[in-house]
Structure 1
Amino acid sequence: MANIFNKLVPYRSPLELFIEHTILCVEAAGVMKEAIKVYLNGGNIEGFSKKIDEFEDKADGIKIKVREIYSKLKWTYFNKSDFLDILHNTDSIIDITDDVLKMLTMNKVENIPEDVAKDILQLSDLVSESVIHMSEIAKELRLIVESAFSPKEVKEGDERVSVVEKEEHSSDILGLEIGKKLFSKKYEMNAVDIMFLNSIIILLMRIEDRAKNVVERIRMITHQ
């Protein structure tokens, strides 16, 4: 009887799986931040990519489960296309962290200026914090749903959204400053290394952008 019931009513909700997915994003961003630190200090980062690959495999499994669940559910709090779009953005975060790790293994930049290295570390920290706050907002969404969208819970969710938006703005400013600083050293550094590091900066800013997209879509859901 239990097996029949599980087939009719999925055991885990899409929202629960989504939160699990955002936690994988947090772990991936943390590994990426540590890898960048090791890279800037001249260390070997080969092992970090394997960890990101594991997160990607788990994330793919979650996406499959969510699609299966939506094929069975007759009613949900959220529109299927909206929910899958949010999941696509969180999935992109893990993919981009993997892109960062793979790029770092392609080129070893020697003698990175200390001010540039410091700024890159700060940017990676800001990006990681934004992903953490994105995951917290996902957990807040569960509280909002469980409270039947109470104004109090919605307001607290909005406050967390504001935090992510401010962080995204700070990351954009810092990313642009690093880019300007890199290109100002065109007579001091190898041109290929400048372009390479700038590409890493752009990827980090893209992770931040994906986190903001998730947060904005969650806000749209809670204010429908």
Structure 2
Amino acid sequence: MSVNSFLGVFAKSPIKPMIQHMDEVNRCAEALKQFFKAVYANDWDAAETARASVVEYEQKADELKRKIRLNLPGGLFMPVERTDLLELVSQQDRIANKAKDISGLMTGRQLQIPEPLTEAFDAYLIRCLDATEKAKETIGEFDDLLETGFKGRERDLVNNFIAELDAIEADTDVLQVQLRQDLRKIETELNPVDVMFLYQIIDWVGDLADLSERVGARFELMLARV
């Protein structure tokens, strides 16, 4: 998107670029599904290709973040503070950064998910990505919230989304504990250095859900000030 067309979007609504950014962040996270599909198959050429998509989406999200920071007007006639919007976009951006970090560490070491853990790990990954999707849905209601004065049915809908996001994040905590326990049972059979990095990957995948929950919490805090 050119600078002029981006500024044109701002002229219509300063909220739409925030929604666009979260959409791009979610695409970045969702690209991990294809990436890990290649990892499970031990196909590192396909994993590198999938990682390139993750990086591309992260770069697009980063560019949108910079444009928002540079072009968000200082004198917004809105019930939300400019600083709140800037903090929200930073929180959103951390999800894309984490997705890129995950794919980078995995490909850098050609780190395999042990076959006994693949099914549980994939269920864990998908549930964490449910959180990024729910965060996208939540931020996607921002424009409609503005139109309704941040109240009524739209406000109730967003409150429900945030509650669902909290529940998803709680699910991922349970799955993470079980996955770490399962890894502990077989860690003596694995390369000790790989084991260390596997624990880190488990934590980082969980961060996708944690960061998504923080997006919801930041959004909720902003709405509480309206």
Q: What is the TM-score when the length of structure 1 is the normalising length?
A: 0.89
Partner of 2:218: 217
User: Which residue is equivalent to 1:47?
Assistant: 49
Question: In the alignment, what sits opposite 2:3?
Answer: none
> 1:188/1:57 Cα in 2 relative to 1: closer, same or farther (>3 Å)?
closer
Cα separation, partners in 2 of 1:68 and 1:131, compared to 1, 3 Å: same
Q: Verify: 1:88 aligned to 2:90, yes or no.
A: yes
Following superposition of structure 1 onto structure 2, how do residues 47-196 of structure 1 map, counting pairs within 5 Å?
47-71=49-73, 73-109=75-111, 112-114=114-116, 116-196=117-197
Paired AA for residue 40 in structure 2: L
Structure 1: give runs of 5+ residues left out of the alignment.
Answer: 1-5
User: In the alignment, does 2:14 pair up with 1:14?
Assistant: yes
Aligned residues between the structures: 218
Cα pair 1:21 1:62 within 8 Å, conserved = yes
The superposition leaves residues 146-196 of structure 1 with CA deviations (integer Å, 9 ceiling, x where unpaired) of 111222211111111111111100101111211121122132222222212
Contact kept, 8 Å, 2:76 with 2:82, in 1: the verdict is: no
Q: Output one character per residue of 1:118-173: Cα deviation in whole Å (capped at 9) or x when no partner.
A: 11111110111111110100112221111112222111111111111111001011
Give the AA of the match of 2:140.
K
Partners of 2:29 and 2:54 within 8 A in 1? no
Query: Contact between 1:96 and 1:203, CA under 8 Å: does it hold in 2?
Result: yes
Question: How far, CA to CA, are the matches of 1:8 and 1:197 in structure 2?
Answer: 45
RMSD between superposed Cα atoms in Å: 2.2
Runs of 5+ unmatched residues, structure 2: 1-5
The corresponding residue for 1:203 is 204
SS at match of 1:149: coil
